[in-house]
Structure 1
Amino acid sequence: MKKDFYEILGITKSADAAEIKKAYRKKAIEFHPDKNPGDKEAEEKFKLAAEAYEVLSDPQKKAKYDQYGHQAFDGAGGFGGGHGGMNMDDIFSQFGDIFGSAFGGGGGFSGFGGGGGGQRRVKGSNLRIKVKLTLEEVANGVEKKVKVKRKIQASGVSYKTCSTCNGQGQVMRVTNTILGRMQSASTCPTCGGSGQILDKKPNNADAQGMILEDETVSIKIPAGVVDGMQLKVANKGNDAPGNNSIPGDLIVAIEEIEHETLKREGENLHLDLYISFAEAVLGVSKDIDAINGKVRIKLEEGIQSGKILRLKGKGIPSVNGYGNGDLLVHVNVWTPKTLSKEQKQFFEKSLTDENFIPHPEKSDKSFFEKVKDMFS
């Protein structure tokens, strides 16, 4: 079972952005590989802290995590759902600045960051797509194959060390202030922080040695996702220039297609069932639409319009794996608008018939009571 992100950083859900950042920096420095060489347990905690910070520092991801837990990010791998796709390069390329001067100013280690004297790893830009899902696909989970146009390094391209920063990816500046001489580091304007510049490129490549290529990407979407939820496929975004770069990610936004008869409310489904007056009086068995096909239900004699039948477990699975919601069938007795002469005479005679005079029982809840029960 995955450990809670708040517990990993030692904070509460009420922590603000500054507290989250402070807590992550403390944990990251404590378990930094430079302070714990060869310690696999410390490295694992370092990665867990980075994973927790990656989610909790983003307001949208934090809101989804607070609502759905780890399942909000499962199914696509990478950050935010399990750090199996993470490595130290991911962490330092995104959060290296948080370490400040604690490790030589760059936050890196073993030659990956600025502090170790090696080149920085640059991450490519993310790509974003929308994937439309039917309600059936949402309920059962699905694997989608999508064609993505990605920037990748061209075949035959080569890079060399940037002469401006000598491969560090940063340039140092010294300025005079009233407090004395101050030294600051900034991203190298020549190489953009990669520490490398283009050496040779084929004719079909752009100024950074990149070309556009179509790639079919497989996306595993778990059951129970909601409209607007975002999944991530690691390393399926654009490549970045340089021999030491890593690709960005593919961000997948879920868009749910409205069902013809079923309406979704969280994990529950609602269905309006219209029956005739005769069916309401006599009782009848009906085949109704459920998420995975037809379901037969029995309507008792004398069923009232507004009655709600609850079919347990016939709704949408919880994205957290806590079981299924329910299907709520709203019974509506259809009143005919035109009658034959004989039919009209029948109902005129029934106006004073004792069986046709309303006699609601205490167990027959009002409309407002039904609405209250539905939302409680």
Structure 2
Amino acid sequence: MNYYETLGISKDASAADIKKAFKKKAMKYHPDRNAGDKESEKKFKEVKEAFDVLSDPQKKSMYDQFGTTDFNSGGPSGSYGSQGFSGGFNDVFEDIFGDIFGNQRGSSNQTYKGADLEYSLSLTLEEAAFGCEKNINISIQDTCDHCGGTGAEPGSDLKTCPTCNGAGQVRMQQGFFSIQQTCPTCNGKGKIISNPCGVCRGSGVVNKKQSISVNIPAGVDSGDRIRVAGKGEAGLNGGPKGDLFIRVKTLNHEMFYRDGTNLHCEIPISFIQAALGSEIEVPSLSGNKLNIFIPAGTQNGKVFRLKGKGVKSVRSSQIGDLMCKIIVETPINLTSKQKTLLNQFDEELKKGGSKHSPKTESWVDSIKNFFN
């Protein structure tokens, strides 16, 4: 048997590659997944034997040099003979597969951090840009104040679990493997509650509503998360609380829209202002008025940039810009007199040709050339 071919790897495979290949093959031929399949059982033994040799640097070196597994006079150390699947194999399998098959190493006094919570918070554009303080109400699983999280009535005794003898873990046999699992009697606590707490009914936690004040930093944007440490759910066996994560959602604004640290707005002006030029006032997110000079001949869609009038970055001191897009408004609902004046104005413009409307004249010439 060629161990490298058995695992499907090359001779220069790293230790990590060997481990990964073994895991994949072992999962494929695992006896519990192929009950009664003798061929799969045989393949599984071969995979294990190959891994035993190639994962051991000394054995691997000898195998590469001599092409044999007969490292001891008693026969191949990788075969199963009287050893079967006990001892070192279980340790290897548990190290590689972790808790895939239920193995949860630990003891009854092992602590676990509580679950994290996530809360969606809607902010106005102003709140997100300048920062604010918000009060939010959440419901969490917190430590029971009556029993202090023990799950037992104060003053009552906690008995050692007879199933796991206080270890919180039991060893179960699954096919060829002996693996650890959380004790089903005490749920890993190692203790049995004879007199459960009347408030939490033995769970050690209760549902609580809390009001939390959250400081929102200036510059947050939709999708950002703010971590509030220790405001999640209670930990297990006295472990620390989880964290609360605030997911920011910025509401639409009637005048501005945001793109990173830049703000954008549209400024409508009359075609007279665009033609003759004008100085106009534009708003800012802070409420201060800003002035923009519109030069004569400004075209529709022209964008004016006001440096430093955008939003501060939440991750640096950088401040974005305010981008003002000019929208030249065409007059509507004209009177007869206004129409007459515009027609007269149009006749005057035509006398100047491309001097007054260079793009229009160029477009007309292009159309003529296209059809000729």
TM-score normalised to structure 1 length: 0.58
2-side partners of 1:141 and 1:232: how far apart?
15
Query: Closer, same or farther in 2 for the Cα pair 1:197/1:277, shift >3 Å?
Result: farther
Query: Closer, same or farther in 2 for the Cα pair 1:101/1:325, shift >3 Å?
Result: same
Return the offset for 1:186: 2.1
Return the offset for 1:329: 0.6
2-side partners of 1:194 and 1:118: how far apart?
5
- Larger C-alpha radius of gyration, 1 or 2? 2
Query: Closer, same or farther in 2 for the Cα pair 1:225/1:194, shift >3 Å?
Result: farther
User: 1:230-249 deviations in whole A, cap 9, x for unaligned?
Assistant: 2322221222454x233222
Query: Which one-letter code corresponds to 1:120 in the other structure?
Result: Q
2-side partners of 1:223 and 1:161: how far apart?
53
**Paired residue for 1:300, among 295, 298, 309?**
295
Query: Which one-letter code corresponds to 2:336 in the other structure?
Result: K
1:135 aligns with 2:125: yes
1:151 aligns with 2:141: yes
2-side partners of 1:199 and 1:329: how far apart?
72
Q: Is the 8 A contact 2:108 2:188 kept in 1?
A: no
Query: Closer, same or farther in 2 for the Cα pair 1:222/1:285, shift >3 Å?
Result: same
**Paired residue for 1:188, among 183, 189, 212?**
183
2:33: which partner in 1? none
Q: CA RMSD in A?
A: 3.1
SS in 2 for 1:353: helix
Identity %: 33
2:328: which partner in 1? 333
Query: Closer, same or farther in 2 for the Cα pair 1:241/1:336, shift >3 Å?
Result: same
2-side partners of 1:352 and 1:326: how far apart?
42
User: 1:251-296 deviations in whole A, cap 9, x for unaligned?
Assistant: 2211111111111122222101111122223322222222212322
Return the offset for 1:201: 4.5
2:217: which partner in 1? 222
Query: Which one-letter code corresponds to 1:358 in the other structure?
Result: S
1-side partners of 2:197 and 2:347: how far apart?
93
2:199: which partner in 1? 204
Q: Post-superposition, which runs of at least 4 consecutive aligned residues in structure 1 deviate over 6 A?
A: none
2:26: which partner in 1? none
Query: Closer, same or farther in 2 for the Cα pair 1:334/1:253, shift >3 Å?
Result: same
1-side partners of 2:140 and 2:257: how far apart?
37
SS in 1 for 2:358: coil
Return the offset for 1:320: 2.2
Query: Which one-letter code corresponds to 1:350 in the other structure?
Result: F
Return the offset for 1:141: 2.1
Q: Is the 8 A contact 2:108 2:168 kept in 1?
A: no
Query: Closer, same or farther in 2 for the Cα pair 1:297/1:196, shift >3 Å?
Result: farther
The aligned length equals: 251
**Paired residue for 2:254, among 256, 260, 266?**
260
**Paired residue for 1:281, among 275, 289, 299?**
275
Query: Closer, same or farther in 2 for the Cα pair 1:162/1:347, shift >3 Å?
Result: farther
2-side partners of 1:275 and 1:303: how far apart?
10
1:213: which partner in 2? 208
Query: Closer, same or farther in 2 for the Cα pair 1:286/1:187, shift >3 Å?
Result: farther
1-side partners of 2:192 and 2:226: how far apart?
33
1-side partners of 2:172 and 2:295: how far apart?
83
Query: Which one-letter code corresponds to 1:221 in the other structure?
Result: I
Return the offset for 1:200: 4.5
1-side partners of 2:143 and 2:304: how far apart?
59
2-side partners of 1:195 and 1:256: how far apart?
48
Query: Which one-letter code corresponds to 1:312 in the other structure?
Result: K
Unpaired runs of 5+ residues, structure 2, are 1-15, 21-93, 152-157, 361-372
Query: Closer, same or farther in 2 for the Cα pair 1:202/1:185, shift >3 Å?
Result: closer
2-side partners of 1:286 and 1:347: how far apart?
24
**Paired residue for 1:246, among 240, 265, 276?**
240
Query: Which one-letter code corresponds to 1:143 in the other structure?
Result: E
Mean Cα deviation higher: 292-301 or 251-260: 292-301
1:271 aligns with 2:261: no
Mean Cα deviation higher: 207-216 or 197-206: 197-206
User: 1:160-179 deviations in whole A, cap 9, x for unaligned?
Assistant: 466143444332224552xx
1:170 aligns with 2:172: no
TM-score normalised to structure 2 length: 0.59
Return the offset for 1:136: 1.0
Return the offset for 1:208: 0.6
